[in-house]
Amino acid sequence: MSKYKTEIPQASRAKRSESRTDLSVSLKDSGGGRTSAVPDKKRKTNRNILVSTYNIRTMRLEEHLLSLEKELQTIKWDILGISETRMKGEANMILKSGHVLFQRNSETGHHIGGVAIMVNSRIKHLVTKSKAISDRVIYIMLHLNRVQSIQIIQAYAPTSASTDEDVEQFYEDLTTAKNQENTKFKIIMGDFNAKVGQRTATDGLNIGNFGLGTRNIRGEMLLDFLNKEQMYCMNTFFKKQPQRKWTWRSPDGAIKNEIDYILTTDK
């Protein structure tokens, strides 16, 4: 069912810290009405759907959104999960480009949470549902074929300055989102603000041999979630040079970590 790639989108604002990772899911015999969840047998696709996640470091104004769309013209993508959006409230909108944006932002603080999923106009007819669990967890459902769908969840974990209670609530929201839909194929992606690091002797099969750096406490919490939900941390299964494994870098480029991940139920 699945074919994974490790091409990394390079869309970013050069003078800010940035965060990104991606994966490709091969979907065959996919189809769906443009405005309906009922499959349209005449509309089929036999192509990879490129699923990516990107920490935009604040998308608050319309010009930020326009800048993002311009950057996306330089890479291949179909679904983009976005962390740290700062637009007000919850809204779904069709952009001038034809792409669709599903978003949920904090009602109380402009510097807290904020998630969105952008769907390329080429496959927007596959989307059958969107739902936000909180201002840190949002998901969409895509129709794959006559009997199967896939759930794609975008997540943005609290930063290291947050309390353990905040992080625990975040993982509870992820579990709630995952359990909302009865579908075999699920992807959870986003900025987890956690370092899984290199595999240890006690790790299960849901962690690969190619993590980056040293695991921290938040990384342990992410591993607990993986074990509980029986999911795979796909980043750790791809062998790359260390200088190509990072998903976040500081504004001066001096510090690089892998804190963004794509998790799947089907390896």
pLDDT at 32 over 60: no
The chain-wide mean pLDDT, for the chain, equals 80
Give the pLDDT confidence score for residue 131 in this predicted structure: 94
For the chain, what percent of residues have pLDDT higher than 90?
A: 47
Give the pLDDT confidence score for residue 104 in this predicted structure: 82
Handedness of CA 17, 154, 6, 232 (dihedral sign): positive
pLDDT at 6 over 50: no
Look at residues 196, 100, 104, 117 and name the one whose alpha carbon lies nearest to residue 154: 117
pLDDT at 10 over 70: no
End-to-end Cα distance, the chain: 10
- What is the C-alpha R_g of the chain? 17
pLDDT at 213 over 60: yes
176-204 average pLDDT score: 94
Give the pLDDT confidence score for residue 210 in this predicted structure: 94
- Candidate ranges 1-5, 177-181, 237-241; pick with highest mean pLDDT: 177-181
CB 162 within 8 A of CB 169: no
| C-alpha dist (Å) from residue 62 to 21, 38, 72, 85, 181 | 24, 33, 16, 11, 32
Between residues 231 and 250, which one has the greater pLDDT? 231
DSSP reduced 3-state for 124: helix
Cα(255)–Cα(250) distance, integer angstroms = 5
Give the pLDDT confidence score for residue 75 in this predicted structure: 83
Question: Could you tell me the pLDDT band of residue 114, with boundaries at 50, 70 and 90?
Answer: confident
Per residue in 127-179, pLDDT tens? Answer: 999 999 998 999 999 998 888 899 999 999 998 888 889 999 999 999 999 99
pLDDT at 12 over 70: no
The domains found in the chain, sorted by start residue, are 18-264 (3.60.10.10)
Question: Could you tell me the pLDDT band of residue 111, with boundaries at 50, 70 and 90?
Answer: low
173-194 average pLDDT score: 95
Look at residues 52, 107, 106 and name the one whose alpha carbon lies nearest to residue 84: 106
CB-CB neighbours of 251 under 10 Å: 13
Give the pLDDT confidence score for residue 66 in this predicted structure: 72
Question: Could you tell me the pLDDT band of residue 90, with boundaries at 50, 70 and 90?
Answer: low
The widest CA-to-CA distance across the chain, in whole angstroms, is 52
Per residue in 35-64, pLDDT tens? Answer: 333 344 445 555 688 999 887 766 655 666
Between residues 126 and 103, which one has the greater pLDDT? 126
